[in-house]
């Protein structure tokens, strides 16, 4: 019980920390965000140009090099769909969705109330996403971008799905290995 409460508060602290980082990044001017996006984009392109993205070369070799080539090609494909700035929203809200979901996992303990915990996690992440976009209205040169909300949705949806799926899997493994009386101590 004490361990679960401790993990809950650690998850809450992590969620607040990630949200604070998102808040600080939103405070950046358009020039600062462009510089940061350009630096990340250049790093991805440099990584790709170092031989990691040559699909023909990567597929002909076996082992880790082949999988790195596929990952690099995936990164290139994703960047061709949208900019680094858009995908950053997915990463940011994925990083926020994990501790938010874990806080709900540790708050309840045994997986009951899944139909209330998942929507609550989702709504909290939606609120954070909307707050971030609204916050941009008060930063000179920045504007509310509804397209960013879709990338945010992708990030926290993946996080919520992953956390609650892992919880269900973990409890199903515990149910098989331990007698039901031990549930009281977990």
* Mean predicted confidence (pLDDT) in 33-55: 67
Query: What are the pLDDT digits (tens) for 71-107?
Result: 555 555 555 556 777 888 899 999 999 999 999 988 8
Distance CA 73, CA 17 (A): 32
* Residue 61: per-residue pLDDT: 46
- Say if 51 falls within a structural domain: no
Cα distance between residue 126 and residue 132, in whole Å: 10
In a domain, 109, yes or no: yes
In a domain, 54, yes or no: no
Q: 24-31: long-range contacts at Cβ-Cβ below 8 A with a sequence spacing of 24 or more? A: 25/92, 26/132, 26/135, 26/136, 26/139, 26/142, 27/139, 28/139, 29/139, 29/140, 29/141, 29/142, 30/141, 30/142, 31/141
- Give this prediction's pTM: 0.73
The answer to whether residue 40 sits within a structural domain is no
User: pLDDT tens across 106-130, in order?
Assistant: 887 666 666 788 999 999 999 999 9
Question: Residue range 39-57: average pLDDT?
Answer: 61
Q: What is the DSSP string of 22-41?
A: HHHHHTS-HHHHHHHHHHHH
User: Which range (5-9, 30-34, 48-52, 86-90) has the least confidence?
Assistant: 48-52
Residue 99 domain-assigned (yes or no): yes
21 is a domain residue: yes
Residue 177 predicted with pLDDT over 80: no
List the domain range (segments joined by +) for residue 26. Answer: 2-34+84-185
Tell me the C-alpha distance between 152 and 40, whole Å: 19
pLDDT band at 57 (very low <50, low <70, confident <90, very high): very low
- Domain count along the chain: 1
12 within some domain: yes
Domain membership flag for residue 159: yes
Compute the chain's Rg from CA coordinates.
Answer: 20
Confidence of residue 149 (pLDDT cuts 50, 70, 90): very high
Q: Report the distance separating Cα 101 and Cα 52, nearest Å.
A: 34
Predicted local confidence at residue 90, as pLDDT: 93
pLDDT given for residue 81 in this prediction: 53
């Amino acid at each position: 019980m004490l361990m679960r409460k401790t993990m809950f508060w650690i998850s809450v602290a992590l969620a607040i920390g990630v949200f604070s980082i998102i808040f600080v990044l939103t405070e950046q001017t358009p020039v600062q965000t462009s510089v940061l996006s350009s630096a990340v984009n250049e790093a991805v392109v440099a990584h790709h140009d170092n031989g990691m993205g040559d699909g023909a070369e990567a597929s002909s070799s076996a082992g880790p090099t082949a999988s790195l080539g596929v990952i690099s090609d995936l990164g290139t494909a994703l960047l061709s769909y949208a900019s680094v700035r858009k995908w950053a929203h997915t990463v940011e809200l994925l990083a926020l969705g994990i501790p938010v979901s874990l806080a709900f996992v540790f708050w309840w303990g045994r997986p009951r109330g899944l139909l209330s915990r998942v929507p609550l996690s989702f709504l909290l992440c939606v609120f954070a996403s909307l707050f971030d976009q609204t916050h941009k209205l008060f930063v000179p040169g920045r504007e509310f971008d509804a397209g960013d909300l879709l990338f945010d949705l992708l990030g926290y949806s993946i996080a919520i799905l992953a956390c609650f799926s892992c919880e269900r899997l973990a409890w199903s493994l515990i149910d098989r290995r331990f007698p039901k009386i031990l549930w009281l101590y977990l």
